[in-house]
Chain A
Amino acid sequence: MIELVSASRCIKCNICVNICPTNVFDRVPDAPPAIARKSDCQTCFMCELYCPVDALYVAPETDLQTSVNEDELAQKGLLGSYRENIGWGTKRASTAKNDQTFQILKQMR
């Protein structure tokens, strides 16, 4: 579930409000978006991908709330890690071109 909107990183672009498939966030004037309907979060990680400044963290636990510590997440490199893995963001190239599914399916036969 979504656990963090980092107030220090967020640039209040409201992209996450717009793109979350299940409408979890609410816009707040002059402030970072609020996690308004947390229990609707389907843990799809899409908001993380679209946040331009890695201000969001979606914890892997889908049915439970967890508490997170922003500094610790940043230290472990978990803020924006999915974005980095798929090569989204400025000066990165999509890693879709490195998709090695063919190697894996070869082993299936």
Chain B
Amino acid sequence: MVSKLTTDWEVDLETDVLVIGGGPAGTWAAWSAASRGAKVVLVDKGYCGTTGCAAASGNGVWYVPPEPQAREAAMASRESLGGYLAHRQWMRRVLDQTYTSVNLLAEWGYPFPTDDEGKPYRRSLQGPEYMKLMRRQIKRAGVKILDNSPALELLVDETGVVAGATGVNRQTNNQWRVRALAVVIATGGCAFLSKALGCNVLTGDGYLMAAEAGAEMSGMEFSNAYGISPAFSSVTKTLFYNWATFTYEDGTPIPGAGSQRGRSLIAKTLLEQPVYAIIDKATEEMRSSMRLAQPNFFLPFDRAGIDPFTQKFPVTLRLEGTVRGTGGIRIIDETCATSVKGLYAAGDAATRELICGGFTGGGSHNAAWAISSGYWSGESAAEYAKTLGHKANQRQVQRVGETAFQPRTEHPHTLATDEVIQAVQAEVFPYERNLFRTEQGLLDSLGRLDYLWQEVRDSQVENKQLIRAREASAMVATARWMYNSALERKETRGMHKHQDYPQQDANQQHHLISGGLDQVWVKSQPIEKTEKTLIGAISNS
């Protein structure tokens, strides 16, 4: 037995619901479980309130008042972009829940602005303010927070039901264990340490932990979101580039290049030469509105001494992976349950195809999904915990972490963690591999990724390398689900652009479910089935 962590837990807790991840999804899950009377522990890799992508960036929210016409328009607007993989039933639920929950934020004191008619305007959340409020709110609800405490692996009982997790405090090195009746994974997406704004805590850890317990992924081919940022900067906020002209170095506009449509052209040009932008289509009035709307957009410019409205500046596209992609852990019913008993998923960690199909691009659905799925997963985890009763925390549990904990071989070698990370990045960052996909390119990458997986599986690491090693293996695992799914989707749909199959194929209007660690598999699942299961589940409940 080569398992790394000892069994002398420096922190050993029992709870009803354990929430892993403290971004919007995790905090909403914790709040809703706690307000149903559950005892809740929330652990985060960073500091709940500042970490995750919403805290650093801020979010437009899919907040639509319950007026039939407005709701209809909201649902219809993105269906074709997403390749008709979204489910109306889910969209309706998310619109309802988001509306209710965002109104709660106002009650809790979030300082929403009023529009020019004097009505409250609730479609936009400033990240630091939003997440500071969420932290305060869950503390009030009695949630115990462990900051700087990444989860490393899940615990399951002898029947495979999820029963908690273990991890380590990255500042004290204290090892923790939380036994729980139900677990919510809200660890966000995977952006492969690309330094997109706020994304470096998002390395796919939740996917890996869930998969080790037997969960499945869905929509992993929709994982190639790239955000525009100034070339020198991390700030991948894209809204204002709607008013930009994209140019070559000499200042001539690049024909067809644009932020929403035309991002591919920017990428194609970047393969050969630098691309510049200038936000010259914003009127004088708008310029001040922009500063008031997103102060952090202007931060890098002000500090670099650039006036983005009058001076051109170089831009790049940073990978945001599944953060603004739509793939993630498969949800099996309206409770946000995964296919593993006792395990729920929410936010970017869970598939978002249900409400936006294969495309999210510029957000608002994402924030709405984090709020709603967070709320439901917490609620259902609490209800499920009640059916077990506290004694269940005395059940025999075992840890199911494999990579970095249990090498497959008798004579493991030391894992070169940083090299593995660079090697994965070399497969997923380049536009010509991940954005413009080809069968050959995907196969080549998968050959190398499979090799990397073997490296990871046959290695061991020192305790102080454990967190990074788990991140590295989560990234390798995520890339393999992504590219195996991409290979299977022999068409172009949503954000999945397959050069060998440039058209959308009506026969492939299905979800791609994937999973497996040593052996990765992909299978298709008809859309109707998910829709029926859901409607069935709702009418039964």
**Chain A interface (Cβ within 8 Å of chain B)?**
17-23, 40, 42-46, 49-50, 59-64, 78, 81-82, 85-86, 88, 93-105, 107-108
Contacts and interface: CB of A to CB of B under 8 A. Distances in A.
Interface in B26-54: 45-47, 49-52
B126 to A, nearest CB: 4
A43 B195 contact: yes
A82 B295 contact: yes
A23 B50 contact: no
Contact of B113 (A40, A81, A82, A98): A98
Task: Choose among B232, B289, B301, B303 the residue with the greatest number of A CB atoms under 10 Å from its CB.
Answer: B303
6 contacts: A44-B56, A59-B303, A86-B296, A96-B129, A100-B113, A107-B286
A98 B290 CA distance: 11
A22 B234 CA distance: 14
Contacts of A100: 113, 288-290, 292-293
A108 B260 CA distance: 12
Interface in B249-305: 285-286, 288-290, 292-296, 298-304
Nearest to A105: B123
B198 interface: yes
B121 A99 contact: yes
Given A60-B303, A99-B126, A42 B121 contact: no
B334 to A, nearest CB: 31
Contacts of A88: 128
Given A59-B303, A102-B115, 10 more contacts: A19-B50, A21-B56, A22-B46, A23-B46, A43-B233, A60-B304, A85-B295, A94-B126, A99-B124, A101-B123
Contacts of B49: 19
A42 B147 contact: no
Interface in B49-69: 49-52, 55-56, 60
Given A96-B126, A100-B292, A42 B300 contact: no
Contacts of B286: 103-104, 107
A9 to B, nearest CB: 18
Interface string B304-328: 1000000000000000000000000
Given A19-B47, A22-B46, A104-B286, A63 B195 contact: yes
A97 B290 CA distance: 14
A54 B529 CA distance: 55
Interface string B99-124: 00000000000111101100001011
Given A46-B55, A78-B303, A103 B129 contact: no
A35 B286 CA distance: 38
Contacts of A63: 195, 232
Interface string B202-237: 000000000000000000000000000010111100
B510 to A, nearest CB: 33
Given A44-B234, A62-B195, A21 B299 contact: no
Contacts of B112: 96-97, 99
B197 A44 contact: yes
Contacts of A96: 110-113, 125-126, 129
B479 to A, nearest CB: 20
Contacts of B113: 96-100, 102
Contacts of B129: 86, 94, 96
Contacts of A21: 45-47, 50-52, 55-56, 198, 200-201
Given A97-B112, A98-B113, A102-B123, A22 B289 contact: no
